[in-house]
Amino acid sequence: MLFPTTSSRQTPPRVVITGAGIVTALGLGWKPNAEGFRTGRTAFRPVSLFDVSRLRAKHAAEVDLPATLPPTRLSAKQSARLDRAASLLLLATDEAWQQSGWEPAENLPLVLGTTAGGMSLGESYFRQAVQRPDHRRHQATRAVYYQPQVQARMILAALGSNGPITIVSNACASGSNAIGHAWELIRFGQTDRVLAGGYDALSELVFVGFDALQALSTTICRPFDAHRDGLALGEGAAVVALETLESARRRGADILGELVGYGTSIDQHHLTQPHPQGSTTLMVMKQACETAGITPENVDYINAHGTGTVLNDSSEALAISEWAGRRAATLPVSSTKANIGHLLGAAGAVEAVVCLMTLREQWLPPEKLFETPDPACKFPIVQKPRDARLNVVLSNSFGFGGVNASLILRRCV
Amino acid sequence: MSRIFVAGLGAVSPAGWNVAALRGALDKGEPLPTQLLERPGWNKPFSVRLVPNPAVRPEFLAHPRLRRTSPITHYVVATALEATATVCATRIAQFRLGLVVCLQSGCVNYSCRFYDETLKDPATASPLVFPETVYAAPASHLAAVLENVSLASTLVGDPAAFLQGVSLGAQWLEENRVDACLVIGAEETNWILADALWHLERSAILTAGAGALCLCRDSKLSAGVELAAITDGHTYSTQNGRSQAARAMRRQLGAPASCRPKPSQGNEDLAGKMPALPELLCDGVGNNPRAAAPELDAWRDWTGPRICPKRILGEGLMAAAAWQCVAACDAVAGGRFAAANISLVGSNQQAMGARFVRADSHISHLSLGHPTGNIRS
């Protein structure tokens, strides 16, 4: 029962990550992404998925999808119904699943964050309904598979599993919120393991929307740079396998990292603009630290939300500077959106996996095109590839609508 | 485990802009009149049930954040203000309020409008419209109106996901992260959504609106209703179709087939004191026999009173799920029933059930076999 709960745990269990899958424009899977983030490679190119000739911005970080998806329990007909977003999600899930070593189960919770779900199917539906109103072919299928909960069911089916599905849609904080929610489900005693993550594919509606807002960079995406002029969009997915430390140890699983802190709240300042002083950002970072039982002194790296927009980065920089206090002067910060763009509903999950990479492999992801720090930055931006001793890292994600989230991950040795 | 109470209810529906209008329509038991909705390119319009214009322009629409918002946000704000009226009148200023907004289709009006502009000329698509297309927009606007929302989330799913939202709100309350939590289900109508529904369920009549439950831990704020149970989400799969999931939900909910509470171990003394009120079933059955079959089968032994809001109001997707809960809680709060069972057999995700009881009764704990240590006599 979801209510009343039957948990008898006195103290929340420790929650670890035993599988991680990632798909971005840097590549499919952990290895090419780790190499890309470690060296600071950027993955932007002219948009090929739709016409951008009438728009200000022309570039994005598109994923090269493989010709065939990995073999799963989906039939050929089912696989053919996966749109671009669901394909990204399947690739990331398959990697996390293989790495975790989990067996198919009838009660495997899946928590996903997305902003657009199967938007490409929705766009196709709309175009056909408007341009060929008497033509009904494929419309019923599009109307069903457009919905993120149906895509999530397909993913569970691909794994030969079933279980409760939760879809979180808090805009660009969705991926972090999904992982945070999964973490709470385990700590609250509702389950011992959860698959969680985020996904979003590039879509015409969203690209045009950010272009209309003049939020897209027409040069290069340079988070926290004084001369930044906007964000760049990307696409991708990331999924993590979360379970109790006890369960992971019992199985002898390879532990990639521990999720130790989570904070979330809502900024009521504006639908699309953060509070200029970053007050909610500050709050969620403090919350995450409280739940983790640490202070800023313990944090070795921040993977910032860092979109590259003027308003976000100055607000976040103020919040990080205030939160970190004296620690700020030596606290390395970077935004991997400089490499792969803003992945919207996938961003928080992808960046959580990047944090796992940094903990696992002990390096810092640089922003190689960063030049001049914003005056609000009291912290150093990682500009060159370098190794580092990392034990605790923090990831920020903020969304349209104002939901903010911070995750804290710790190395497991 | 904390006890979770319902502090207030809110509803905007084709019946009107409050719970009383919803109650009136359901009590009357007659399907509401339909209106015609034009569909571009077709001669035959859709038959839908639109939310009537409010008799008086709501004051909240003067809020600067609501200037450009679409109807779904208006419905969300109206239901929220109604559901929190009691709490506001007492001590909401000191409250940490949680907010869970549940949607299936969400902000379709502005999404269609913006994509239409995109197809015509992307260079002139309106930057004012785009932000209103995101699922999170209604929750954001409501948080700005209420000012004291400390925790918020938007969940997407089929209508049964409304009970996931109620469960999340209860969890936040149990963890003492908020003092009260609004859980809202909402939808808005437009031609593309009516078109999609026509492809999937031709006899359904699309409608729109919102429903809200305000949950709290403090029994003094209770409107006389207590949350007793929410089942797991029984997700559909190739091996577990809607029928099996509906039956599993029914088994887990454990609602008795009989309409009257039965004395059981530990409540013999209560049985004599308790008014012999019946239990209510509030289901999600509409007018399509094929779509309704799994749910009807799962509850075929139910002999007690039953209401089917969809048959009166139409297919309101997530709003319809919220109306079920609002109508059930309202019936229990009104003293007509000892308990109300909610049956939500969603369209493409899961079956879930819930049970609300009178806050001064003990039926839930006894019939569900839970510890009786916190029973008040």
Give tens-digit pLDDT for A109-141.
Answer: 999 999 999 999 999 999 999 999 989 999 999
Tell me what pLDDT residue A268 has: 86
State which CATH number among 3.40.605.10, 2.30.30.190, 3.40.50.300, 3.40.47.10 fits the domain covering A15-251. 3.40.47.10
Please check whether residue A287 touches B, CB under 8 A.
no
| pLDDT band, very low/low/confident/very high, at A8 (cuts 50, 70, 90) | low
Question: Would the pLDDT of B369 be above 80?
Answer: no
A181 is catalytic: no
What is the average pLDDT across B266-270? 39
Tell me which chain B residue has its CA closest to the CA of residue A124.
B115
Q: Which chain A residues are Cβ-neighbours of B252 within 8 angstroms?
A: 1
pLDDT at B92: 55
Average pLDDT taken over every residue of chain B: 90
Query: pLDDT by residue (tens digit) across A57-115?
Result: 999 999 999 999 999 999 999 999 999 999 999 999 999 999 999 999 999 999 999 99
State the Cα–Cα distance between residues A118 and A45, nearest whole angstrom: 23
Contact B140 A400 (CB under 8 A): yes
A15-251 and A261-410 have identical folds: yes
A33: its two tokens: 């992404």
Name the architecture of domain B225-367. Answer: 3-Layer(aba) Sandwich (3.40)
CB contact under 8 A, A271 and B174: no
**Would the CB atoms of A211 and B122 count as touching at under 8 Å?**
yes
Average pLDDT over residues B242-262: 82
Q: Please give the interface size between A and B, counted as residue pairs whose CB atoms are below 8 Å apart.
A: 219
Report A:31-60 residues touching B (Cβ under 8 A): 51-52, 54-55
Of B40, B187, B297, B133, residue with least CA distance to A213: B133
Res B258: pLDDT: 57
Can you name the residues that pair with A386 across neighbouring β-strands?
A: A364
Is domain B4-221 annotated with CATH 1.10.3470.10? no
Domain ranges of chain A: 15-251, 261-410
How confident is the model over B52-111, as pLDDT tens digits? 999 999 999 999 999 989 999 999 999 999 999 988 776 655 679 999 999 999 999 999
Q: Is A342 a catalytic residue?
A: yes
Q: Given this model, what pLDDT does residue A7 score?
A: 66
ipTM of the complex: 0.98
- List C-alpha distances in Å: A71 to A94, A200, B131, B356: 9, 22, 38, 45
pLDDT recorded at residue B91: 60
The pLDDT > 70 percentage for chain A reads: 99
Residues A277-297 have pLDDT tens digits of 999 999 999 999 999 999 999
pLDDT at A303 over 80: yes
* Residue B86: per-residue pLDDT: 82
What is the pTM assigned to this prediction? 0.95
| List of chain B residues whose C-beta atoms are within 8 Å of the C-beta of residue A179 | none
What local confidence, expressed as pLDDT, does residue A270 receive? 87
Q: Which is catalytic among the residues A181, A305, A355, A377? A: A305
Residue A268 sits at the chain B interface (C-beta within 8 Å):
yes
* A139–B118 CB contact, under 8 Å: no
Give the pLDDT confidence score for residue B43 in this predicted structure. Answer: 87
CATH architecture of A261-410: 3-Layer(aba) Sandwich (3.40)
CB contact under 8 A, B232 and A167: no
What span, in angstroms and rounded, lies between the C-alpha atoms of B358 and B360?
Answer: 5
What is the SS3 assignment for chain B? CCCEEEEEEEEEECCECCHHHHHHHHHHCCCCCCEEECCCCCCCCEEEECCCCCCCCCHHHHCHHHCCCCHHHHHHHHHHHHHCHHHHHHCHHHCCEEEEEEECCCCHHHHHHHHHHHHHCHHHCCCCCHHHHCCCHHHHHHHHHHCCEEEEEEEECCCCHHHHHHHHHHHHHHCCCCCEEEEEEEECCCHHHHHHHHHHCCCCCEECEEEEEEEECCHHHCCCEEEEEECCCEECCCCCCHHHHHHHHHHHHCCCCCCCCCCCCCCHHHHHHCCCCCEEEECCCCCCHHHHHHHHHHCCCCCCCEECHHHHHCECCHHHHHHHHHHHHHHHHCCCCCEEEEEEECCCCEEEEEEEEECCCCHHHHHCCCCCCCCCC
B234-243 burial, b if ≥16 CB within 10 A, otherwise e? bbbbeebebb
Q: What are phi and psi of B64, to 5 degrees?
A: -60, -30
Same fold, B4-221 and B225-367: yes
Confidence of residue A214 (pLDDT cuts 50, 70, 90): very high
Would residue A172 show up in a list of annotated catalytic residues for this protein?
A: yes
Q: CA Rg, chain A, in Å?
A: 20
Percent of chain A's residues with pLDDT above 90: 94
Determine whether the interchain pair B111/A208 forms a contact, defined as Cβ–Cβ distance below 8 Å. Answer: no
Q: Is the pLDDT of residue B268 over 80?
A: no
**Would you say residue B361 has pLDDT above 90?**
no
